[in-house]
Chains A and B, each alone.
Chain A
């Protein structure tokens, strides 16, 4: 049975840990995205660099997270950096693949039209390719967010300054207190789901053209009237 009284007494701590959780995840995601975007652009411009970049990111992804944290402690101590480096590393393979796939998904005729109408290279990248890559980039962001929010709990191994909601899992485990473990685990899961739902909204807002064509039914009369 859950100890509801304990939960009620710890709402403040719960809120603080939720904020910390979001902060740790956000730093990892933002830094991870920035690095992956740069690597993705390199991969797009120099196609031959894509397999080694994606391969390296894939190999890093296979390192068990606890090992990575443990390996970093002697170098960077029990610091924010130690917490974030693994988070960033694990986002890479997801981000890079989705960014490259997003740019690859831009139709060839659109690129040809953009060139033919006189877009300079960077203009084309920014105003044509990037917007059209957004759906797949956001898809990657969703997967990376969920996985990063889950991973943040493990940063609790670095001590109670880290871990976000994972703090409750570690503390509850050491005290043999099921309610606290459940609170940390469920809280982390709900957080991931909420962030995912927010990102879906963000994508809809960013890509109004991908909404189902509401005007489809009007097509036929329009053509008949003008032909």
Chain B
């Protein structure tokens, strides 16, 4: 590794907008494309700029790598005013992904990815290695794709290459303008998950533009909702945005289904789980009956030796004497992983026509119970589990 690269690689940058305004028509006193924008993105976080078309998202993004100069205000990266820096050098330290991908048609995929390393003068062998490594990171087989031209790739593949290219020099800051805008919903979902997975390892600071509120909620640690005239309507973590929209505009923009959206933000592990009353096949029935009677939830969960659930006993079906048998246990409830979203969990409960599901760990052992009531309570605006975890 080159020394300068190590310095970059380990750092994520803090980005600050300070009263940034951009008016395209210099003379006029019109509303401007961006108006008095101020916010801080802490290092290693994804901040999503979201808002209706023409509200100034792209303009805001391009001011960070000085493709556009602000009319007033300043932008600081790691505390340094970028207007004092050489724009060419600044851009080479910032990853940039644009919606139309902007891949160079005359360069192979490998060469496209290595653009910034080449500009920085890395040795050719190191450029090649880096391109192959990044193809792997974005889920493309290096041997297959390295020597193709962009015209020989599908839209989704091109967008991956666009992300790989932006990551090439391991920049502490990435700007992504609708990076997954041009692909179908399934591929988009896949690319989103991949970016979150990569981000979990790399922890870059990312400014991410979209006009899709669902994407914003999914991808953002922080969401900046902008409204026409380039004003910041709200700047908050997604859960807070959904729980407490700052204005009528934000409430309408996030949509009437924000309770449901909140459920897709929260996961089973965020809930306080109910301890299940459990027993094993062969245990004494009378003892189990005593324990279940003492519990408000009138069901006994039979688990195997390892702690994995087998089935339920209704209080009424537990024999007064003898031992418990696995054969007598009735059907299972849905099983939730800790990372199952509350939205998915509720849906599984509804599909199975039951009121409680079983949270299990990676090894399949019972962690506790989740009821539909728990999920509804958590999804209320003042719910206990309302904390963001996207990108964590």
Hey, which bits of chain A sit against chain B, CB under 8 A?
A: 107, 109-110, 112-120, 123, 128, 131-132, 207-209, 213-216, 219-220, 222-223, 226-227
Contacts and interface: CB of A to CB of B under 8 A. Distances in A.
Contacts of A226: 139-140, 157
Contact of A113 (B102, B106, B186): B102
Interface of B: 62, 65, 67, 88-92, 96, 98-107, 115-116, 119, 139-140, 144, 148-154, 156-157, 165, 175, 186-187, 190
B67 A207 contact: no
Given A116-B91, A117-B116, A227-B156, A109 B187 contact: no
A208 B111 CA distance: 14
Contacts of A132: 104-106
B65 A227 contact: no
A109 B178 CA distance: 13
Nearest to A123: B119
B357 to A, nearest CB: 29
A112 B67 contact: yes
Contacts of A123: 119
A222 B156 CA distance: 10
Given A118-B119, A223-B187, A227-B156, A109 B67 contact: no
A209 B105 CA distance: 7
A205 B106 CA distance: 12
Contacts of A215: 148, 152
Contact of A117 (B99, B106, B115, B148): B115
The 7 closest A-B pairs by CB, nearest first: A113-B102, A118-B92, A118-B91, A109-B100, A116-B96, A109-B102, A209-B149
27 contacts: A107-B102, A109-B102, A110-B103, A112-B67, A113-B102, A114-B104, A115-B91, A116-B65, A116-B96, A117-B92, A118-B116, A120-B88, A123-B119, A128-B104, A131-B106, A209-B107, A209-B150, A209-B151, A213-B152, A215-B148, A215-B152, A222-B154, A223-B156, A226-B139, A226-B157, A227-B186, A227-B187
Contacts of B101: 109, 113
Most chain A C-beta atoms within 10 Å of own C-beta, residue among B90, B102, B115: B102
B99 to A, nearest CB: 8
B149 A213 contact: yes
Contacts of B106: 128, 131-132, 207, 209
